[in-house]
Structure 1
Amino acid sequence: MSRWRPDARERLERAALELFAEQGFAATTVPQITERAGLTTRTFFRHYADKREVLFAGEAELPAMARRMIADAPPSADPLTLITGALRAVADTRFEGRRADLLRRREIVRSDPGLGERELRKRAVICEAVTAACRERGFPAMTAALLAETSATLLFVALQAWLDQDGDRPLHEFLDEALTSLRSTLSVTGAVPH
């Protein structure tokens, strides 16, 4: 086995995803992953705390990125411009070009209840980060929470539609559609029962 190669993390991820898809998440072991990747278990644990981390590695990056984008937005940006700009940037930098990998990841996460819970926790962490960033911009607590939850909902609804599509439209188009749908739903008079 190779002692050190610069692509170890990518090889471990590729091997893990293949094995998760072939035999299921629960049935896959770290030694199986490292054997398939041609690396040692020691190398695995240098990159990941456990096999779940292969699926959730980098989950801290998205909340940090969202906070940074909100903080760096022009002070004059209205709330809608703020969240749509951040969502578009996230779509373009974190998701575009990775659809096949994300489809495979989604199927693996859906196959295991514990992974599903971890996915929900990831969404909650993103909301917490956006809420904090909006509060730092001076938004009232309720407004900040609504912006965060709306942002997360728009992202996750658009992401699912993008993954489910038959074509190859970019994610930002699904974000725009989700926002348009939300606006029209909220603006229709009589849409909400009294």
Structure 2
Amino acid sequence: MNLYIYHANQCDPKRCTALKMGKLGYAKIIKNTYKLPRNSLLLNPYAETTVSVDDRDIIKKYGIMALDCSWKQAEKVFSITNAKNQRSLPLLIAGNPVNYGKPCKLTTLEAFIATLYIANYKNDALSLLDGFKWADTFIDLNEELLEKYRGRSSAEIIEIQNKYIEDNSKRYKKNKR
């Protein structure tokens, strides 16, 4: 599986999952925007379409690309690419030490794991856990959702996500009383 990361040098290198993925040989780090693979699947939190099993062929043929940057600079960084296959991720909870428990604040590693898992490359997703002490926590927090999303179309994933949000908001309101 080809995993690419554009690294914007906006994070603490000691905590950066993208750089560690590069060191472990899991991903290729790219520092020049002109060298970004245009046909790969770009993980973009602002994309209108969510990643799904329908993206398997793109992933297999061209790989997955993530832009590693500060969340504060994300919109600006994502505007620099003209990748044609841009996808967002559905609701997932961060398991990383910096954003633990926060919805949608995933590290680059977590985003790759989620994408592979959802596109039904579960074994490839789980192989990325090695080398990251906390990565199992991401799976533990999201296993139910990842299994529900896995192998589904984008429309089905959005339905699952919305039902999950609705059910949990009802549960939260009930517990608050």
TM-score, scaled relative to structure 1: 0.29
The structure that is helix-richer by fraction is 1
The structure whose Rg is larger is 1
Higher relative contact order (CA 8 A, sep 6+): 2
TM-score normalised to structure 2 length: 0.31
- Normalized per residue, the structure richer in strand is 2
